[in-house]
Structure 1
Amino acid sequence: MTLRGTNQESGRPYNRRIVLEAIRLDGPTTRGTVAERVGLTVQTVSTIVRELEEHGLILSVREKPRGRGIPPSLLTINPEGGHAVGIHLTPLGIEAALVNLRGDVVETRQCHAVNTTPDEAFALIGEMVNDLRASPRPGRMLGAGLALPGPFDVESMSFVGSTTMIGWKNVDIRQRLADATGLPAFMENDMAAAALGEELYGLGQQVSDYFYLFFSVGLGGAMMHEGAVLRGGWGNAGEIGHIPAVPDGEPCPCGNRGCLERYVSLDAFKRRGLSEADWVRDIAPIFRNAIRTIENLFDPETIVLGGLAPQSLIERLATLAEGLDPSISARADRPYPRLVVASDCQHSALRGAAALAVFGVLSPRYGQMFETSERGTDE
């Protein structure tokens, strides 16, 4: 992500968020390094750092002297400076997590609720969030992020079939989430949310271009490029679950036949009733073709495999990379394997959903921090 501050006086709240994001990405770091990265003076950055420290969002630690002079203090995000709630809604149930600014999952709550209606779901979400807020650990609550299956706003695919949420069409999900939680509310499809979580807290710290393959009740993905999800014209890019995999194959609720997620998904795994080892061996050719298709379309540095599946199943699928046929990604100078397991499979969508709220409240793109207290000032 490109982070550049502004010299306009009215841009001071924006500069605060820019500096905070730079510290989150690069910390431990110095005021001088932050100033160089965001294009502000060291004096301006120092003033902002002082304010961020007063809000408890960052920590400043001075190293022990190693020679002459006093070493500069190093700046890092304060993990306990705030918490967000990440919520993942699937056809199988609801899970919610309290996540700190470092991305650590502090507490979780689960509710088994199959194909829940919107009224039932938001009532349960309200109870779960209230329970998490009653914990002695939250401190400042930044917001709530909700991840749920996509695609969105596609007549034949949205909220249709066993791999998505039936009966959720035309629901104002963001407003219902805000009403249920009393917090700033954000939402995203679960594959993009999981990719954002990996970007903020996992492999995204080292890799600029990767595809996050989200293995859940259905199958989807998101291409990350320099810290951002590539969304497409209507925000649904990466829905590879509906690429054709088997000519004249199984009928799909989307209206087509032979879609990939009819064969490679948790729903497909449960319908077949095979052991993990037998099922993975059975779908190996289809899965490998899907990997090569992703590589040839997006040219990622690697494909990250994560999602709701048991860790053992994710890892079995990852071993199929050993038999991949050539693609544009089959090159000798690769720094990473063609397929890797996500940094935190079981919490990927939860951490990503919480990251939506953290990113939404604190980041330069969507930031809301300080706005209430400064409304009407010249800052």
Structure 2
Amino acid sequence: MQTGEPTSDNEIDRRSGDDQKINTAIVLEAVLKDAPLSRAQISERTGLNKATVSSLVQQLIDRHLVIEIGHGESSGGRKPVMLLFNAQAGHAVGIDLGVNYIRGVLTDLDGAVLHERVSSLKRRDPDHVLPELASCIEYLIARAPDSPYGIVGIGIGVPGIVDDRGTVLLAPNLEWRNVPLREWAEERFALPVAIDNEANAGALGEQKYGAGRNVAHQIYVSVGIGIGTGIILNKELYKGASGFSGELGHLSIELDGKPCRCGSRGCWELYASEMALLERAAPLGYEDLDALLNAAEQDGRVQQLFRETGTFLGAGIASIANVFNPDLVIIGNRMSKAQRWIEEAMREEAAKRALPYHRERMRIQFAELEDRSAVRGAANDAISRFFAKVKSGRYDDSANL
């Protein structure tokens, strides 16, 4: 089109619609990030004029996403009406699918947990696990209060490698290969489903709600039956070229070490995980982590087993420090319960092995969410995808209410 040529009415309408979606997204983001805010404050923060803000806010109120909560302090004129995001506009389900457990939560759109369910898994094959998973999800959905948007999505964290179609390509400790988990869940529940590696979900959970808030470079180490890591660099989850990063539990730390279910040998998780701890504890008659935690109060042999686990963890953390130079390493999942017994040995070994310049600023913390980092992160993944649809205009249709 030459300069000065009239613009078609259709093109103008299309541009206007795109601009409105962008501005709506800007206003909603301001409310999500900084509420309570007045309309005037939103205008100041976004640079949008007051009339535009007022119109967009009213649309968000009509769509049940923003609510008025009363008057704020006056700065000289009338008291402004304050606005808040309506966290009860919908709900999400988050699932942490472990090797020997399923943990699920129902949250509001702020991620606050309304209901939780934990069950143990006696078998690992999909024919057994999927019905148990369906039962957990159904239990949580049934307890969701009525809301304009209902259940906005389901997020599931899995201890394995997941592709962009939500297929579990390999979960060594579950002994799963090529399980189309998202396809199964979306067919079963007719809801949007997000599938990701459990450690990635844990990293996002701690970044959003826990120890990783406002930290640019952090590595979440999920220590359960296996070990996985979620890598956040420059405040963004790093997934690598194919989306499969974070499998640091399968770094070989012993050249000709024990064989691993992944097909390699000497993997870090064979020495520093809950599974490794339980193998060393078997001759003492202890069969689960909770029993070991109780016994550690009185049994010096159990305390020594925990110290050994802490030492192996520290060695791996030193490698993480030397490779990634993070601000923070977060220890999460079930082994975070053993902080009292593993922390000293873990810190000593990490300090001994990490390069001095790398360990100088690095902090090591245990997960604030303890063993709930992944399930909270999985729910937040579903919520974030819902917000992305809202901001793109895909929830403009009243049929979605």
TM-score by length of 1: 0.83
Cα distance change, pair 152–127 in 1 and its aligned pair in 2 (3 A): closer
Cα RMSD over matched residues? 3.1
Query: Which is bigger in relative contact order (C-alpha 8 A, separation at least 6)?
Result: 1
The answer to whether the Cα contact below 8 Å between 1:245 and 1:286 also exists between their aligned partners in 2 is no
- Matched residue, 2:309: 283
Q: Does 1:356 align with 2:368?
A: no
- Matched residue, 1:187: 195
Q: Does 1:176 align with 2:176?
A: no
The answer to whether the Cα contact below 8 Å between 1:321 and 1:339 also exists between their aligned partners in 2 is no
**Which deviates further from its counterpart, 139-148 or 75-84?**
75-84
The answer to whether the Cα contact below 8 Å between 1:209 and 1:225 also exists between their aligned partners in 2 is yes
**Which deviates further from its counterpart, 199-208 or 60-69?**
60-69
Q: Does 1:338 align with 2:363?
A: yes
The answer to whether the Cα contact below 8 Å between 1:96 and 1:109 also exists between their aligned partners in 2 is yes
Cα distance change, pair 15–67 in 1 and its aligned pair in 2 (3 A): closer
Cα distance change, pair 358–247 in 1 and its aligned pair in 2 (3 A): same
Q: Does 1:296 align with 2:322?
A: yes
Report the count of equivalent residues. 359
- Matched residue, 1:94: 102
Partner amino acid, structure 1, of 2:388? S
- Matched residue, 2:299: none
Residue 102 of structure 1 aligns to a residue in which SS? Answer: coil
Q: Which sections of structure 2, spanning at least 5 residues, go unmatched?
A: 1-13, 285-291, 294-302
Q: Separation in 1 of the partners of 2:121 and 2:195?
A: 20
Residue 217 of structure 1 aligns to a residue in which SS? Answer: coil
- Residues 339-367 of structure 1, C-alpha deviations (whole Å, 9 max, x = no match): 11222122211111111110111137996
- Matched residue, 2:287: none
Residue 253 of structure 2 aligns to a residue in which SS? Answer: coil
Q: Separation in 2 of the partners of 1:367 and 1:111?
A: 37
Residue 363 of structure 1 aligns to a residue in which SS? Answer: helix
Q: Separation in 2 of the partners of 1:284 and 1:123?
A: 36
Q: Which has the larger radius of gyration?
A: 2
Q: Separation in 1 of the partners of 2:28 and 2:209?
A: 16
Residue 155 of structure 2 aligns to a residue in which SS? Answer: strand
% identical equivalent positions: 28
The answer to whether the Cα contact below 8 Å between 2:215 and 2:235 also exists between their aligned partners in 1 is no
Q: Please state how far the C-alpha of 1:247 moved relative to its aligned partner.
A: 3.2
Q: 1:101-250 to 2 correspondence within 5 Å?
A: 101-135=109-143, 137=145, 139=147, 140-152=150-162, 158-159=169-170, 161=172, 163=173, 165-167=174-176, 169-250=177-258
Partner amino acid, structure 2, of 1:195? A
Q: Separation in 1 of the partners of 2:42 and 2:346?
A: 39
Residue 170 of structure 2 aligns to a residue in which SS? Answer: coil
- Matched residue, 1:48: 56
- Matched residue, 1:329: 358
Q: Please state how far the C-alpha of 1:92 moved relative to its aligned partner.
A: 0.9
Q: 1:251 pairs with 251, 255, 259, which one?
A: 259
Q: Separation in 2 of the partners of 1:317 and 1:55?
A: 50
Residue 205 of structure 2 aligns to a residue in which SS? Answer: helix
- Matched residue, 2:298: none
- Matched residue, 2:9: none
Partner amino acid, structure 2, of 1:289? A
Partner amino acid, structure 2, of 1:284? G
Cα distance change, pair 319–230 in 1 and its aligned pair in 2 (3 A): same
Q: Please state how far the C-alpha of 1:298 moved relative to its aligned partner.
A: 1.5
Residue 245 of structure 2 aligns to a residue in which SS? Answer: coil
Partner amino acid, structure 1, of 2:246? G
Q: Separation in 2 of the partners of 1:241 and 1:18?
A: 40
Residue 153 of structure 2 aligns to a residue in which SS? Answer: strand
Partner amino acid, structure 1, of 2:326? P
Partner amino acid, structure 1, of 2:358? S
- Residues 160-218 of structure 1, C-alpha deviations (whole Å, 9 max, x = no match): 54x2x223x22321111112222211111101111112222224432222111111221
Q: Please state how far the C-alpha of 1:319 moved relative to its aligned partner.
A: 4.0
Q: 1:269 pairs with 252, 277, 281, which one?
A: 277
Q: Please state how far the C-alpha of 1:330 moved relative to its aligned partner.
A: 2.8
Structure with the higher helix share, 1 or 2: 2
The answer to whether the Cα contact below 8 Å between 1:318 and 1:340 also exists between their aligned partners in 2 is no
Cα distance change, pair 39–247 in 1 and its aligned pair in 2 (3 A): farther
Q: Please state how far the C-alpha of 1:41 moved relative to its aligned partner.
A: 4.3
The answer to whether the Cα contact below 8 Å between 2:252 and 2:266 also exists between their aligned partners in 1 is yes
